């Protein structure tokens, strides 16, 4: 079976085309940003957001060969609408904390839900949002519960919402919520 990350990437591969505009709302070490850049190609636009300068630097280094339109923004994902005009095809969220850093700086429900709302407004019809959630760290369970509650209340005429989760695993493995705009 596919991991949560593999599954998230596969459902975006189904829809993202060369030349599209995409967002990595939580760039971390830049792995998802790099993945998105390979989907949109040199004609595409990739936006990335993170509140940690280390994440911006890591991602900039990882994407040094990408010659498409790349914008790495040192700001919270809840500020997405301050930077992006027009529609986007996909948005990736990988919540929690920056791998390899302290666990003090984490994503939190209020800013994540604001970022989701703004991402949903930017999303074109047929576009998708992936949200990888981790509930095993301090603050993670609260954020996870709030994001699930938010997504469960979305109008089914406007969004499909899917949950992909391994239910017999120990140690709080991550799981995925995926939204598709109808």
Q: Which residues of 7-19 are buried (b: 16+ CB within 10 A; e: fewer)?
A: bbbebbeeebeee
* CA gap 84, 24 in Å, rounded: 12
The model carries a pTM of: 0.95
Phi/psi for 181 (5° steps) reads -75, 130
The whole-chain average pLDDT of the chain stands at 94
What was the pLDDT predicted at 171? 85
- DSSP letter at 163 equals E
Query: pLDDT tens digits, residue range 123-172?
Result: 999 999 999 998 877 777 898 999 999 999 999 999 999 999 999 988 88
Would you list the domain boundaries of the chain?
4-181
Domain 4-181 homologous superfamily, CATH: Vaccinia Virus protein VP39 (3.40.50.150)
**How many CB atoms lie under 10 A from the CB of residue 139?**
18
């Amino acid at each position: 079976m596919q991991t949560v990350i593999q599954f998230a990437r596969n459902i975006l591969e189904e829809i993202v085309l060369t030349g599209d505009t995409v967002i990595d709302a939580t760039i971390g070490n830049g792995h998802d940003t790099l993945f998105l850049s390979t989907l949109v190609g040199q004609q595409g636009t990739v936006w990335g957001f993170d509140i940690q300068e280390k994440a911006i630097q890591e991602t900039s280094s990882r994407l040094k060969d990408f010659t498409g339109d790349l914008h790495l923004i040192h700001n919270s994902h809840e500020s997405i609408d301050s930077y992006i005009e027009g529609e986007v095809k996909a948005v990736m969220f990988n919540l929690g904390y920056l791998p390899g850093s302290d666990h003090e700086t984490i994503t939190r429900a209020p800013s994540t839900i604001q970022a989701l709302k703004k991402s949903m407004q930017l999303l074109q019809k047929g576009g998708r949002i992936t949200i990888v959630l981790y509930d095993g760290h301090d603050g993670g369970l609260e954020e996870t519960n709030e994001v699930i509650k938010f997504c469960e209340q979305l109008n089914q005429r406007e969004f499909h919402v899917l949950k992909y989760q391994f239910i017999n695993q120990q140690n709080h493995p991550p799981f995925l919520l995926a939204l598709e705009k109808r």
